[in-house]
Amino acid sequence: MFWVYILRCNDNSYYTGHTDNLENRIAQHQNRTMPNSYTSTRLPIQLMYSQEFSTHDEALIKKDWVALTEYAKRKNSSVIHAI
């Protein structure tokens, strides 16, 4: 299974992510397992939304995994694209 999730950070910003193990991924955020991640300096986080899908492609609006991967690499992008 594949999950899409939205977290609310301590500074009231939001982080959207995806994973194949939601419980483990939330624990990684909470425990600063990835010290350079967006949420690591914005703890605590709160899970606001999650939805399960059969595949990662089903979780994408346009079903364009390549585009999502490219958008995720961008830093400080002020343009939001519907994927």
pLDDT digits (tens, 9 = 90+) for 19-46: 999 999 999 999 999 888 899 999 999 9
DSSP lists the bridge partners of residue 41 as none
Phi/psi for 56 (5° steps) reads -65, -30
Residue ranges per domain, the chain? 2-73
Q: Taking a C-beta distance cutoff of 8 angstroms, is the pair 39, 79 a contact?
A: no
| Section 69-80 average pLDDT | 58
Measured between alpha carbons, how far is residue 27 from residues 18, 37, 42, 62, 69 in Å? Answer: 14, 13, 14, 29, 23
Angle at 16 between CA 38 and CA 43, to 5 degrees: 40
In this structure, which amino acid lies at residue 20?
Answer: D
0.85 exceeded by pTM: no
Question: Which helix (H) or strand (E) is 66 found in, with range?
Answer: helix 65-73
